[in-house]
Structure 1
Amino acid sequence: MEKQWNEQYDVVVVGSGAGGLTAALTARLQGLSVIVIEKTALFGGSTSKSGGTIWIPNNLYLEEAGVKDTYEHAKTYLDTTVGDRVPDALKKAYLRKGPEMVKYLHENTEHFRWEYTPRYSDYYPESPGGLASGRAVEAQLFDLRKLGDDIKHLRTSGLPTKGMVLKSSEFHKVNMIMRTWIGKTKAVKVGMRLIRTLISGYKPTTLGEAAVARLYTSLKEAGGEVWLQTPFKDLIYENNQVTGVIAERDGMEINIQARHGVIFASGGFSHNQELREKYLPKPTNTEWTLSAEKQTGDVIAAGVKLGGQLDLMDKVWGTPTSAPPGAPAFMPVAERATPGLIIVNSNGERYINESVPYHEFVDQMYENNNEQSSTIPSWMIFDKRVKSRYLVFGIMPLQQLPKEWFETDYVKKADTIEELARKINVPPEKLAATISRFNTFAAKGSDEDFQRGESAYDRYYGDPTLNNPNLAPLDKAPYYAIPIYPGDIGTKGGLVIDESARVITKDGAPITGLYATGNCTASVMGETYPGPGATIGASMVFGYAAAMDIAENARKKSSRSPKVTMTV
């Protein structure tokens, strides 16, 4: 009996983050009809909540900016950082198809426009193949008026910026507003942008919101469709291949045919506590994740049901997080590089270079967590000097920390180190000794315990007016403490894919008609995180690879059978 289809498309994409939108846009540009189904009421996924940076070596925007990079140089770096944790063919595909994807979408759309983020270094710039100048590019400013009525469906970042719109390349400069002339100049520029927004209809956005808005607008202009509040339920598998999906729309289950392929791009399982308990290091909590809601692993389970292979299920794109009262969890990136700020365990001791890349920080939190010295939570300790000089959790230097933070006891405050130690239940003498030792290092300009400030990555968010941009004394009362937990921006384990993004079974064969990209897959980055935007970049690259493979196969089918059509 022939399957009854409620809707029919060449390609069905599950998930509306950067990977899903890139896959759908590429498929549409290749002449295929495409539908994106999204579980939530907002499009953008975790990409919208991110910095919107992509790490794709040797791409045209880097070349335009004069960044010297080559395939061989980038391959050396991936071999050094990722190693043999993932197949070599996957790394090669990423490095070759990444620049190809950037060029293709740049040349074939009006809105795919990015720019180099100067000196935002690779996360391990001193490693062979690493670049201190960085390979990060970010979406250019985008005027949200171009979204029309769809603006109300765009997932927003939720950053506490009070209406200010900052590019990634601007943030670390604005953070130095009290310290450098370029910080003051950049802050004025950002302020003028805000004034323009307030007195005109201009609606600029940056970071992940801009990345998503640019991809979404390009897709809509190419004739692609996006259905919100349409959760994926299951795959339809017939005659040894995936032929469509079952989804829920307006309270009804519908069958959507995918004539040439289904692409999973719906994120991992960060919001599934049961799966977190099963696979991830403990303790773990859905409240610590920064990923978009309802990422519960639905598509991973569907792929496994068809024999899909799993890998890296115990890994996350880790980041330390902290959740202020009444607000989503916050990701302290620049804060950890701030001179005069340290992070300690339950014994009041430092256990890490606070400025290391965020995924490495989380790995170290778990490795150093034990009965004698708990690191969950850890405590971020800073003083009046830090508060008066730098941004803290989005709060400007001259702004007071929110009253609610103190009333709920989220932030601890004290006039002495010993009093602060008692408030966070760590040995006063240990914390005092730790800070005294740290202050000695600050005076010398050299962190003898953890080498903070020696890497170009450390220094990016540091204070350039200091001999060591990441070291300054911690000795000006009052003192503050904020709890830090091992969070994530998404899980990074899931279905194993090949270089064309086809989902692979345990015996190494592809599941015909099923592709995947992003955080529902086992990441090409393995157990590490080579540079800013490696997660979004990989999701986009393999979304592109999936769509291109589907398009090529569709053309082959079309040449063999006049019954197969491609919609332009």
Structure 2
Amino acid sequence: MDKQWNELYDVVVVGSGAGGLTAALTACLRGLSVIVIEKTELFGGSTSKSGGTIWIPNNLYLKEAGVKDTYEQAKTYLDSTVGDRVPESLKKAYLRKGPEMVKYLHENTEHFRWEYTPNYSDYYPESAGGLASGRAVEAQLFDLRKLGDDIKYLRTSGLPTKGMVLKSSEFHKVNMIMRTWIGKMKAMKVGMRLIRTLISGYKPSTLGEAAIARLYTCLKEAGGEVWLQIPFEDLIYENDRVTGVIAKRDGKEIKIQARQGVVFASGGFSHSKELREKYLPQPTNTEWTLSAEGQVGDVIAAGVKLGGQLDLMDKLWGTPTSAPPGAPAFMPVAERATPGLIIVNSYGERYINESVPYHEFVDQMYGNNNEEDSTIPSWMIFDKRVKNRYLVFGIMPFQPIPKEWFETGYAKKAETPEGLAEKINVPPEKLAKTIARFNTFAVNGVDEDFHRGESAYDRYYGDPTLENPNLAPLNKAPYYAIPIYPGDIGTKGGLVIDESARVITKDGKPIKGLYATGNCTASVMGETYPGPGATIGSSMVFGYAAAVDIADSVRKRDGDHVPKRTMSV
């Protein structure tokens, strides 16, 4: 081996989220030697912190559940939501390679196992090709004991669930614990799971943690490696192609040869103050992001240095967020659909259907923001009835809101709408009028201003005991207010890729040996967000596409036998 190399592998993957692990796993299963390098001390990336669903139309788990879907219907839906903002070839590749990826990993591994999330609607189910029954699948519950000693290196979600482990399909039912028998039964099931965990060695995981744990376990069993605390520094480019990476190990520079290709899968630039202020809508703040630390755009810069083309740099996977004192930022998904809860601007007025998909919510926060009627922050307003009926920021019904929230000024509380308005510095008469108008809509069951509750997506997190699951009067003191900011689960702009996940230059040519997937790329979803898991799903699909292209290229050159080649010096 050339003395310039410290390590030699066929494929080097940068980043250990779902996209990176999928690329590495697929490459391993295709007979290639693979190393995943991760700059932080934990593997899993932002996927581990997520809901862990993947939105891949027409996949085998949907078929097993009896969900009727076709390539043509899914294509119609992408055309009606994403439109022509991304190349046609990219949309087609996603829809064809997605089901192929799911089937391949299901058939070739023991632990790649997912399940349909019933009725978790597409985000725009009323659009052409949309499904109210949804296309979301989530990782099956996984016992973390199977990770062995590596369990201590798994990034955890940090969700405020007090030790309870809930699947995505269970959460919205448990949220109805005070309202439906199904909610009570599901909560009892979750409680029994917690008891089992406390009295035995059982370590169940769900959501993003389960997705990552399953992929990681598959990769290790296939012979792949993951190195932690190995930050990427730069690409090595010679003889008109990428041949490896420069990284750091224990503070020293190392060079890792990638005989067949490098795959970038390390996220976008959510934690870069400089890049956020350069590209994203203003105001912006790294404290509002829910993405894993370390995502500062370093791989994007390395790709640009070699001529890589950029797109969608002003877009993010938006979600309203709020950060209680002493806790990480929280993503209010179900809360916004809760009947009896509204969100207002600095003038005390509603400006949006509170239940819309979180990506669209942030777009409208920015679209409606101005000096006179600021929406940053907005205020989430609810009353005692909401507090006693539903979960709010992980707090169970009748469980008190932490005193610290009020003592620090984070949350506000008052006996009247006017009193609450004074505490959040909005016109008292305006907030009272807004609440009165909303209450009229609640009694009539129709939101005349913003049509809340008319979409199947709105209703998924609503209260099924009500005529309109998303509307109920807001009139039972005391009243509460919590600030909401335009956060994100990651940026969605970056390097432009083709249908094989090859990084493309400004003149439309692929950079030989360089592939990318996930949030360091310009998303196949363009400026929108078609369904739950479109982020993770697309990252996995193009991670798979990259590995397949690399393996196919090797096979065409070397024949059917692809030996494993792993060397260290």
| TM norm structure 2 | 0.99
Cα distance in 1 between the residues matched to 2:459 and 2:370? 30
Residue equivalent to 1:522: 522
- In structure 2, how many angstroms separate the alpha carbons of the residues matched to 1:284 and 1:297? 16
Q: Which residue in the other structure is 1:183 paired with?
A: 183
Give the match for residue 442 of structure 1. Answer: 442
> What's 1:159 paired with?
159
CA distance in 1, matches of 2:28, 2:250: 26
Amino acid at match of 2:430: K
Measure, in 1, the Cα distance between the counterparts of 2:222 and 2:367: 48
8 Å Cα contact 2:446/2:452 also seen in 1: yes
- 1:446-485 superposed matches below 5 A: 446-485=446-485
| 8 Å Cα contact 2:31-2:563 kept in structure 1 | no
2:200 counterpart of 1:207? no
Provide the C-alpha distance between the structure 1 equivalents of 2:91 and 2:564, rounded to a whole number of angstroms.
31
Measure the CA separation in 2 of the matches of 1:4 and 1:377: 53
Q: CA deviation at 1:430?
A: 0.3
Tell me the amino acid that sits aligned with residue 382 of structure 1. F
% same residue: 87
Supply the distance in 1 between the matched residues of 2:101 and 2:187 (Cα, whole angstroms).
34
Q: Which one-letter code corresponds to 1:132 in the other structure?
A: A
Shift of 1:559: 3.5
Aligned partners of 1:250 and 1:365: how far apart in 2? 43
Structure 2 counterpart of 1:205, one-letter code: S
Output one character per residue of 1:137-170: Cα deviation in whole Å (capped at 9) or x when no partner. Answer: 0000000000000000000000000100000000
Question: Which position in structure 1 is the counterpart of 2:82?
Answer: 82
Task: Show the counterpart of 1:168.
Answer: 168
Superposition deviation, residue 558 in structure 1? 1.4
**Cα distance between partner residues in 2 of 1:435 and 1:557:** 69
Q: What secondary structure sits across from 1:138 in the alignment?
A: strand
Q: Which residue of 1 aligns with 2:121?
A: 121
Displacement after TM superposition at 1:251 (Å): 1.2
* Deviation at residue 309 of structure 1 after TM alignment: 0.1
Match of 1:62 in 2: 62
| Distance in 2 separating the partners of 1:377 and 1:262 | 41
**1:555 equivalent in alignment to 2:555:** yes
The one-character-per-residue Cα deviations of 1:370-391 (angstroms, maximum 9, x if unpaired) are 0110000000000000000000
Query: Which residue is 1:216 aligned to?
Result: 216
In 1, Cα distance between the equivalents of 2:370 and 2:267?
31
Distance in 2 of aligned mates of 1:84 and 1:311: 14
DSSP 3-state at the match of 1:258: strand
1:493-513 deviations in whole A, cap 9, x for unaligned? 000000000000000000000
Unaligned runs of 5+ in 2: none
Partner of 1:9: 9
Q: Is the 8 A contact 2:503 2:511 kept in 1?
A: yes
- Give the aligned length: 566
Q: Tell me the CA shift for residue 402 of structure 1.
A: 1.1
Cα deviation, 1:115-144, whole Å, max 9, x if unaligned, reads: 000000000000000000000000000000
Question: What's the CA shift for 1:557?
Answer: 2.2
Distance in 2 (CA, whole Å) between partners of 1:398 and 1:69 is 42
RMSD, aligned CA: 1.1
Q: Tell me, yes or no, if the aligned pair for 1:49 and 1:158 is still in contact at 8 Å.
A: yes
> Match of 1:110, as an amino acid?
E
Give 1:490 shift: 0.0
Partners of 1:2 and 1:125 lie apart in 2 by: 56
Letter in 1 for 2:109: T
The secondary structure found in structure 2 opposite 1:488 is strand
Secondary structure of 2:522's match?
coil
Q: Kindly report which structure 2 residues correspond to 1:261-272, keeping only aligned pairs within 5 A, or say none.
A: 261-272=261-272
Residue 32 of structure 2 corresponds to: 32
- The aligned runs of 1:37-436 (5 Å cut-off) are 37-436=37-436
CA offset at residue 3 of structure 1?
Answer: 6.2
**Cα deviation 1:401-459 (Å, max 9, x = unaligned):** 11111111111000111010000000000000000000000000000000000000000
Rounded to whole Å, the distance in 1 between the matches of 2:401 and 2:108 is 47
Consecutive unaligned residues of structure 1, counting only runs of 5 or more, are none
| In 1: Cα distance, 2:195 partner to 2:398 partner | 20
Contact 1:558 1:565 in 2 (8 A): no
8 A Cα contact 1:31 1:567, kept in partner: no
Using structure 1 for the length normalisation, give the TM-score.
0.99
**1:3 & 1:280 partners in 2: Cα distance?**
43
The separation in 1 between residues aligned to 2:225 and 2:399, in whole angstroms, is 44
Aligned-partner Cα distance in 2 for 1:36–1:249? 13
